[in-house]
């Protein structure tokens, strides 16, 4: 008998953690009762992060003992492959997949899709999905999670034609202050090569980024995007000894990493997911001006006004007094992005910022980024595997993998 499979559309309001816990604890809600009494496993970014944290703390390989590389240093595609293999090894009756294709390039998505098709013949699948294009083809039951409420669709075509749109309201708020950076060239990588052990990752990378430019950094999983970004932000020692200039300083010429970090706004979804503090939404946004997490002194009038403008822009003014902790995952990410943008840093790095957002929120996000990049003096680098509809960068820097390491070119 063929297995039952569900797709559950989630958006920024969805309380998906509660639902996942209920299903895994044999308290599946109406429509999912068939899963009660069965053994389930969760495939999600959070589960992966928990394994990475455990590896860090205990120094042991938990789900990738067949590799001599840490889970943390693997590319997203490699990590997801290791997690799926591990979960299948526990012989579950069903798998809950939380946006499995996020952070994967097209090739890795195809491989995972193929693998899941095979898995689906033996194991039921519940796919939590934000993007309609991600729905697995063998799924036959469709629903949407609105808050904690599940609404079932009559059929696939009703599910795929539904919309949950929202708009971007207002202009990008003004910069609170100006940074004095003399050089017109913000970042320059000249003939940069990186190897990990014997494995070449980047070869002869030349990339010049000027003030105010809007770049998209593209490349398949494992092509070295994170490696380049972490050399720029100072988090990767491979940057030393290379011809790499940041804000007019040559890397390793005695520049202060802290001073450089103050000039960079950085947003990546996984940072957001780790914040657990009890701060109001409004204070989280304002704390982008003070380089702290949350706020420990009374905000000024100007700070409050700016936060109001940003929260109105991203449609979250109504929840300004709620605890950041209590927001949905999608709302938290929008808040953290506004927090990275509020001071108009000279350089803003958005690392896979739309991962985990539903179609409407991703479109809103892209509109915000386009607008911010055009209307501010900030240099923006947007990293994504997914070709984001509507993203309008000035330039694309494409990494292309090769046996001697990735080469880069400007498209």
Ligand X SMILES: Nc1ncnc2c1ncn2[C@@H]1O[C@H](COP(=O)(O)OP(=O)(O)OP(=O)(O)O)[C@@H](O)[C@H]1O
Residue among 357 and 399 whose Cβ is closer to ligand X: 399
Q: Which stretch binds ligand X (CB under 6 A): 69-77, 111-119, 296-304, 309-317?
A: 69-77
Q: Any residues with CB less than 8 A from the CB of 118 and at least 6 apart, and which?
A: none
Nearest distance, CB of residue 381 and ligand X, angstroms: 13
Among 12, 41, 44, 75, binds ligand X (CB under 6 A): 75
* C-alpha atoms less than 13 angstroms from C-alpha of 363 in its C-beta half-sphere: 12
Among 76, 130, 328, 376, binds ligand X (CB under 6 A): 76
Nearest distance, CB of residue 401 and ligand X, angstroms: 9
Nearest distance, CB of residue 77 and ligand X, angstroms: 6
Nearest distance, CB of residue 76 and ligand X, angstroms: 3
**Residues of span 223-282 touching ligand X by CB under 6 A:** 223-227
Neighbouring C-beta atoms of residue 50, cutoff 10 Å: 12
Q: Is the dihedral of CA 148, 151, 156, 162 positive or negative?
A: negative
CB distance 98 to 128 below 8 Å:
yes
Nearest distance, CB of residue 234 and ligand X, angstroms: 15
Nearest distance, CB of residue 351 and ligand X, angstroms: 8
Q: Which two tokens stand for residue 220?
A: 């398949």
Residue among 217 and 289 whose Cβ is closer to ligand X: 217
Residue among 225 and 332 whose Cβ is closer to ligand X: 225
Nearest distance, CB of residue 40 and ligand X, angstroms: 27
DSSP string, 20-86: HHHHHTT-PPTT-GGGTTS-EEEESHHHHHHHHHHHHHH---SS-TTSSS-TTTS-HHHHHHHHHHH
Nearest distance, CB of residue 224 and ligand X, angstroms: 4
Q: Which two tokens stand for residue 281?
A: 């939404």
Could you give the string, one character per residue 194-233, with x where binding to ligand X holds by CB under 6 A and - elsewhere?
Answer: --x----x-----------------x-xxxxxxx------
DSSP string, 360-404: HHHHHHHHHHHHHHHHSS-EEEEE-SS--TT---SEEEEEE--TT
Q: Which two tokens stand for residue 218?
A: 């593209």
Nearest distance, CB of residue 267 and ligand X, angstroms: 15
Closest CA relative to residue 257, chosen from 268, 267, 266, 246? 246
Nearest distance, CB of residue 220 and ligand X, angstroms: 7
Measured CA to CA, the distance from residue 113 to residue 100 in angstroms comes to 9
Is residue 148 close enough to count as binding ligand X by CB under 6 A?
A: no
Q: Which stretch binds ligand X (CB under 6 A): 68-76, 119-127, 168-176, 369-377?
A: 68-76
Residue among 99 and 221 whose Cβ is closer to ligand X: 221
Residue among 234 and 288 whose Cβ is closer to ligand X: 234
Closest CA relative to residue 239, chosen from 255, 223, 215, 217? 255
Could you give the string, one character per residue 333-372, with x where binding to ligand X holds by CB under 6 A and - elsewhere?
Answer: ----------------------------------------
End-to-end CA distance of the chain: 50
Among 69, 155, 162, 208, binds ligand X (CB under 6 A): 69
CB distance 349 to 267 below 8 Å:
yes
Residue among 223 and 379 whose Cβ is closer to ligand X: 223
Q: Are strands 243-246 and 249-250 parallel, antiparallel or unpaired?
A: antiparallel
CB distance 233 to 266 below 8 Å:
yes
Residue among 189 and 335 whose Cβ is closer to ligand X: 189
Q: Which two tokens stand for residue 15?
A: 């309380």
Among 28, 48, 63, 74, binds ligand X (CB under 6 A): 74
Residue among 225 and 333 whose Cβ is closer to ligand X: 225
Residue among 7 and 52 whose Cβ is closer to ligand X: 52
Q: Any residues with CB less than 8 A from the CB of 159 and at least 6 apart, and which?
A: 7, 9, 135, 142, 143, 144, 153
**Backbone torsion region of residue 223, taken as left when φ is above 0, otherwise alpha when ψ lies between -120 and 50, otherwise beta:** alpha
Residue among 40 and 224 whose Cβ is closer to ligand X: 224
Residue among 295 and 383 whose Cβ is closer to ligand X: 383
What residue ranges bind ligand X (CB under 6 A)? 69, 73-78, 196, 201, 219, 221-227
């Amino acid at each position: 008998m063929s297995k039952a499979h569900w797709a559950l559309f989630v958006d920024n309001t969805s309380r998906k953690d509660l639902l996942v816990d209920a299903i895994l604890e044999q308290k599946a809600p109406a429509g999912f009762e068939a899963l009660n009494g069965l053994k389930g496993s969760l495939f999600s970014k959070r589960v992966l992060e928990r394994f990475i944290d455990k590896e860090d703390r205990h120094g042991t390989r938990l789900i990738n003992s067949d590799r001599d590389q840490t889970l943390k240093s693997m590319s997203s595609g490699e990590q997801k492959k290791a997690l799926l293999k591990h979960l299948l090894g526990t012989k579950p009756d069903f798998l809950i997949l939380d946006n499995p294709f996020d952070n994967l390039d097209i090739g890795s998505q195809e491989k995972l899709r193929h693998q899941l098709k095979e898995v689906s013949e033996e194991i039921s699948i519940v796919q939590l999905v934000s993007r309609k294009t991600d729905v697995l083809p063998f799924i036959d039951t469709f629903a949407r999670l609105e808050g904690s409420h599940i609404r079932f669709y009559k059929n696939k075509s009703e599910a795929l034609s539904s919309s949950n749109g929202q708009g971007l309201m207002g202009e990008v708020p003004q910069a609170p202050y100006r940074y004095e950076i003399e050089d017109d060239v913000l970042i320059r990588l000249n003939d940069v090569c990186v190897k990990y052990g014997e494995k070449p990752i980047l070869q002869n990378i030349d990339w010049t980024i000027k003030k105010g430019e809007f770049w998209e950094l593209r490349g398949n999983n494992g092509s070295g995007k994170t490696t380049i970004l972490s050399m720029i932000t100072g988090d990767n020692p491979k940057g030393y000894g290379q011809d790499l200039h940041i804000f007019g300083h040559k890397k390793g010429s005695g520049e202060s990493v802290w001073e450089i970090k103050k000039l960079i706004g950085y947003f990546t979804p996984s940072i957001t997911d780790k914040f657990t503090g009890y701060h109001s939404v409004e204070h989280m946004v304002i704390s982008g001006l003070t380089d702290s997490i949350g706020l420990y002194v009374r905000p000024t009038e100007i700070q409050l006004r700016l936060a109001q403008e940003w929260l109105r822009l991203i449609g979250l003014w109504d929840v300004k007094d709620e605890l950041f902790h209590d927001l949905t995952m999608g709302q938290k990410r929008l808040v953290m992005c506004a927090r990275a943008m509020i001071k108009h840093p000279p350089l803003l790095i958005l690392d896979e910022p739309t991962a985990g957002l539903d179609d409407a929120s991703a479109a809103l996000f892209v509109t915000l980024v386009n607008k911010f990049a055009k209307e501010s003096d900030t240099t923006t680098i947007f990293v994504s595997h997914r070709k984001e509809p509507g993203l309008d960068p000035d330039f694309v820097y494409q990494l292309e993998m090769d046996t001697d390491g990735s080469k880069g070119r400007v498209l």
